[in-house]
């Protein structure tokens, strides 16, 4: 979160609001006070002018009404008017004129105006003709633009206007006083605003300091830091807010710890599950996927995130809406290719909110390839066993029926032949059952091994000598066995059985005049044995299958020679029980080689063997 600048902070807003409130109050008060003061000063000035004019008017009326002698004694009217005008003009009137009925100036504080006639002034004409006095108003003089209070009064002699008084009194002094007062008021306003800003800063800091601390703590809480506390500076609303904030911090800390603990548990469970887990949103788009799911479907979370689960699981042809997956419950998806079988089972369950609305899907996927293989092998095994048993049983039934119903038992030539066939098929079934029992014991770890330390070279020579004595076909044995003592820790009977099985197969599939090579090679920590024939060989794609139960490359010849199809499967179980390995290599038309290894025994200290 970005740091809040001073110009965007609540502190500046509080200061501005306080200053604006104070400025508004001062402006309202100043406007009202200035208007009232101006009205009061102008009213006082007008009253003073009116009082002075009233006295002047009284004196002038006496002067105009006084009788004068013809002998020239005493003052004339013009002289007396001048004298009166001179006494009352003073500093109050900037222009004072006394005009007679002939519109001639009798007296004035401006001597150049005396004796002149005035005819263009409407106020003077109104006073002389109609005897009406104006109310007076403030005007600006054209020559100086100064503001003056103009007043015109008639001089009455009874009901007749015998003269008029025209006066101009400057009011600039009044406005100058108003300007000085306004300047004082403005200075006071500026000082008040400065004081209000200082007080606003202090008040705003008092209010915003705990809020700033709560903001910083909230930012820390957003980052997961719940270790700090907000200082409580009082018991007012902000103090109670700080206390509540600290309580909320403690609760969030506890809730976050609980959530984090649950998240770790869930993450650990998801990471250590052998099954894959895929979560989607309400649209069916993938939001979460654990590592096993990534390995199973071969798509990383980065690639799958936001993609539809139906597309990732390749089931678009089976579902249209993601909600249909809940109805399916589970689904087996085939990810097999031309080289390998790979099946995944997906179990679907929905996620709902408190109101029961669909919020997403949880899919658990698991690899069921081995299970499917086991099922297929089980079915194939049952089919093979049934087939292997049915053939000798059918043969035996046919011969026994011939003996019982056809009277062949009385034929001295046919009866022994039928009995020999029946005996051969019986022995074949016994071998098959014994092999199955042996495999069953190995599968259940019930076939005990009697291991001991033996020199294996004489054992191999003994086995080869036995085969050479009993061979009926023209097959040559090539022995490549080292002339030394090699000790291994094995069950001699089991290893003999393995060698017999491999040698028997080599003899069965070798042509007349062929050669079987028996080679023993001593390696670093193991003994490697290989038995090669010159038979027809095996297709490369089928080489690995010869160790499967009941698998035969040439089924007709195997049954003809009495094979059960379990010899190499038993050999593989025995070799692996000795912690060795067994495998085959073959080329069509060039024969087959079976390899198996046995671990060498560790030489005891001080032993020379």
Which CATH number covers residue 540? 3.30.565.10
Per-residue pLDDT tens digits for 503-516:
888 888 888 888 89
Average pLDDT over every residue of 240-246: 83
Q: Which two tokens stand for residue 109?
A: 């504080």
CB 490 within 8 A of CB 578: yes
In a domain, 512, yes or no: yes
pLDDT above 60 (res 582): yes
Q: Which two tokens stand for residue 90?
A: 């003073």
Average pLDDT over every residue of 397-401: 72
What percentage of residues in the chain have a pLDDT greater than 90?
Answer: 8
pLDDT above 60 (res 608): no
At 5 the pLDDT is 59
The answer to which of 12-21, 66-75, 175-184, 446-455 has the lowest mean pLDDT is 66-75
Q: How many domains does the structure of the chain reveal?
A: 5
Looking at the fold, whether 262 and 285 belong to one and the same domain comes out as no
Phi, psi (5° rounding) for residue 517? -105, 125
Say how far apart CA 47 and CA 92 lie, in whole Å: 12
Strand positions, DSSP E, 275-432 = 276-280, 286-289, 330-334, 343-352, 358-367
Looking at the fold, whether 464 and 588 belong to one and the same domain comes out as yes
Under the banding of pLDDT at 50, 70 and 90, the label for residue 384 is low
For residue 94, give the nearest of 116, 115, 109, 111 by alpha carbon. Answer: 109
Per-residue pLDDT tens digits for 306-365:
888 878 877 777 776 776 776 677 777 777 776 677 788 888 888 887 777 888 888 888
Looking at the fold, whether 356 and 414 belong to one and the same domain comes out as no
pLDDT above 50 (res 607): no
Per-residue pLDDT tens digits for 206-232:
777 777 777 787 788 777 777 778 777
- The CATH number covering residue 306 comes to 3.30.450.20
Domain encompassing residue 309: 273-367
Residues 6+ apart with CB under 8 A from 76: 68
CB 587 within 8 A of CB 599: no
Select from 367, 395, 428 the last residue of a domain: 367
In a domain, 106, yes or no: yes
Looking at the fold, whether 356 and 346 belong to one and the same domain comes out as yes
Average pLDDT over every residue of 379-401: 68
H or E element in which residue 109 lies:
none
Average pLDDT over every residue of 248-274: 80
Select from 319, 342, 367 the last residue of a domain: 367
Say how far apart CA 130 and CA 119 lie, in whole Å: 15
H or E element in which residue 454 lies:
strand 452-455
For residue 205, give the nearest of 461, 14, 375 by alpha carbon. Answer: 14
CB 307 within 8 A of CB 336: no
Looking at the fold, whether 383 and 472 belong to one and the same domain comes out as no
Average pLDDT over every residue of 11-39: 81
The single-letter DSSP state of residue 406 is S
CB 125 within 8 A of CB 163: no
* CA dihedral over 20, 24, 26, 27, signed as positive or negative: positive
Looking at the fold, whether 470 and 585 belong to one and the same domain comes out as yes
At 418 the pLDDT is 73
Question: Greater confidence, 561 or 197?
Answer: 197
Looking at the fold, whether 589 and 555 belong to one and the same domain comes out as yes
pLDDT above 90 (res 598): yes
Per-residue pLDDT tens digits for 440-485:
666 656 566 788 999 999 999 998 988 888 766 678 889 999 999 9
The answer to which of 31-35, 174-178, 195-199, 421-425 has the lowest mean pLDDT is 421-425
In a domain, 128, yes or no: yes
Looking at the fold, whether 490 and 556 belong to one and the same domain comes out as yes
Per-residue pLDDT tens digits for 120-163:
677 788 888 778 888 788 888 777 778 888 888 888 877 888 88
Q: Is 584 exposed, middle or buried (0-12, 13-18, 19+ CB in 10 A)?
A: buried
pLDDT above 50 (res 606): no
Average pLDDT over every residue of 284-300: 82
At 439 the pLDDT is 64
Say how far apart CA 488 and CA 574 lie, in whole Å: 15
In a domain, 172, yes or no: yes
For residue 36, give the nearest of 188, 151, 178 by alpha carbon. Answer: 178
Average pLDDT over every residue of 235-244: 80
At 48 the pLDDT is 85
Mean pLDDT, rounded, of the chain: 78
The answer to which of 111-125, 249-263, 291-305, 426-440 has the lowest mean pLDDT is 426-440
When computed from its CA atoms, the radius of gyration of the chain, rounded to whole angstroms, is 65
pLDDT above 70 (res 576): yes
At 518 the pLDDT is 94
Q: What's the pTM? A: 0.41
Say how far apart CA 13 and CA 20 lie, in whole Å: 10
Q: Which two tokens stand for residue 135?
A: 């109310």
At 113 the pLDDT is 76
Per-residue pLDDT tens digits for 341-352:
778 888 888 888
Looking at the fold, whether 260 and 297 belong to one and the same domain comes out as no
Residues 6+ apart with CB under 8 A from 532: 506, 516, 517, 519, 591, 592, 593, 594
Looking at the fold, whether 80 and 152 belong to one and the same domain comes out as yes
pLDDT above 90 (res 527): yes
Looking at the fold, whether 56 and 149 belong to one and the same domain comes out as yes
Per-residue pLDDT tens digits for 40-94:
888 888 888 888 888 888 888 887 877 666 655 667 777 777 878 877 766 678 7
Q: Is 64 exposed, middle or buried (0-12, 13-18, 19+ CB in 10 A)?
A: buried
Select from 367, 399, 414 the last residue of a domain: 367
Say how far apart CA 273 and CA 255 lie, in whole Å: 26
The single-letter DSSP state of residue 5 is P
Looking at the fold, whether 278 and 266 belong to one and the same domain comes out as no
Strand order in the sheet with 358-367: 286-289, 276-280, 358-367, 343-352, 330-334
What percentage of residues in the chain have a pLDDT greater than 70?
Answer: 82
In a domain, 333, yes or no: yes
CB 22 within 8 A of CB 193: yes
Phi, psi (5° rounding) for residue 531? -125, 115
In a domain, 208, yes or no: no
In a domain, 246, yes or no: yes
In a domain, 340, yes or no: yes
CB 98 within 8 A of CB 77: no
């Amino acid at each position: 979160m970005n740091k809040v600048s001073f110009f965007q902070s609540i502190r500046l807003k509080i200061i501005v609001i306080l200053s604006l409130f104070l400025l508004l109050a001062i402006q309202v008060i100043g406007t009202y006070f200035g208007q009232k003061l101006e009205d009061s000063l102008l009213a006082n000035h007008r009253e003073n002018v009116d009082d002075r004019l009233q006295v002047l008017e009284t004196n002038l009326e006496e002067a105009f009404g006084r009788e004068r002698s013809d002998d020239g004694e005493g003052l004339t009217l013009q002289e007396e008017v001048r004298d009166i005008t001179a006494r009352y003009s003073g500093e109050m009137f900037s222009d004072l004129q006394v005009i007679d009925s002939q519109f001639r100036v009798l007296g004035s504080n401006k001597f150049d105006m005396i004796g002149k006639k005035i005819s263009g002034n409407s106020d003077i004409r109104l006073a002389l003709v109609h005897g009406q006095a104006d109310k007076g108003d403030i005007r600006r003089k054209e020559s100086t633009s100064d503001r003056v209070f103009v007043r015109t009064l008639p001089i009455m002699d009874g009901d007749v206007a015998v003269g008029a008084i025209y006066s101009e009194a400057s009011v600039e002094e009044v406005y100058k006083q108003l300007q000085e007062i306004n300047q004082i008021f403005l200075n006071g306003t500026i000082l008040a605003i400065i004081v209000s800003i200082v007080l606003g800063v202090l008040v705003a800091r008092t209010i915003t300091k705990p809020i700033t601390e709560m903001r910083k703590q909230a930012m820390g809480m957003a980052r997961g830091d719940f270790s700090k506390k907000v200082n409580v500076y009082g018991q007012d609303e902000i103090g109670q807010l700080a206390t509540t904030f600290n309580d909320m911090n403690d609760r969030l800390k506890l809730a976050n710890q609980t959530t984090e603990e649950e998240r770790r548990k869930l993450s650990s469970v998801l990471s250590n599950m052998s099954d894959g887990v895929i979560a989607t949103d309400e649209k069916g788009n993938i939001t979460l996927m654990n590592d096993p799911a990534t390995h199973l479907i071969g798509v990383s979370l980065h690639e799958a995130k936001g993609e539809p689960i139906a597309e990732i699981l390749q089931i678009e042809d089976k579902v249209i809406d993601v909600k249909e997956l809940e109805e399916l419950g589970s689904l087996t998806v085939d990810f097999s290719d031309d080289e390998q079988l790979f099946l995944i089972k997906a179990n679907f369950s929905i996620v709902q909110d408190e109101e029961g609305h669909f919020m997403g899907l949880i899919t658990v996927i698991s690899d069921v390839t081995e299970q499917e293989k086991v099922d297929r092998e089980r079915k194939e095994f049952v089919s093979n066993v049934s087939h292997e048993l049915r053939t000798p049983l059918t043969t035996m039934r046919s011969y026994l029926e011939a003996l019982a119903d056809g009277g062949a038992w009385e034929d001295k030539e046919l009866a022994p032949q039928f009995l020999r066939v029946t005996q051969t098929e019986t022995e074949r079934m016994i071998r098959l059952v014994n092999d199955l029992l042996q495999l069953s014991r190995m599968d259940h770890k019930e076939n005990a091994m009697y291991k001991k330390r033996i020199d294996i070279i004489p054992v191999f020579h003994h086995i080869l000598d036995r085969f050479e004595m009993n061979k009926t076909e023209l097959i040559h044995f090539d022995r490549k066995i080292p002339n030394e003592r090699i000790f291994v820790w094995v069950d001699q009977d089991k290893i003999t059985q393995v060698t017999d099985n491999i040698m028997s197969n080599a003899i069965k599939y070798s042509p007349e005049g062929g050669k079987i090579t028996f080679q023993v090679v001593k390696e670093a920590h193991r003994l490697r044995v290989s038995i090669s024939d010159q038979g027809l060989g095996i297709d490369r794609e089928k080489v690995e299958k010869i160790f499967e139960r009941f698998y035969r490359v040439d089924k007709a010849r195997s049954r003809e020679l009495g094979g059960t199809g379990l010899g190499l499967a038993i050999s593989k179980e025995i070799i692996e029980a000795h912690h060795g390995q067994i495998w085959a290599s073959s080329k069509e038309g060039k024969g087959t080689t079976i390899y198996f290894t046995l671990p060498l025994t560790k030489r005891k200290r001080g032993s020379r063997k």
